[in-house]
Amino acid sequence: KSLKKLEIDPAERPVGIQIYGHLVEPMVEAALRAEAAGPDLIDINFGCPVKKIAGRGAGSGMMR
């Protein structure tokens, strides 16, 4: 289901893909899949301050 979201219609441009997480290997895999989709930008979310996210080491929690 999530991979279907990586299909980009040229009429949607410009389009960006945002990824986040806290484990290196899945983040690398997500970045490679995002890159293969050919977006105009890829955003790695290091700024999310939400406690539920940052408390697990994702978002701004990765900056620790």
41 classed as catalytic? no
For the residues of 6-46, what is the DSSP string, one character each? Answer: G---GGG-S-EEEE--S-HHHHHHHHHHHHHH--SEEEE--
Residue tagged active-site, from 27, 33, 48, 60: 48
Catalytic (active-site) positions: 48
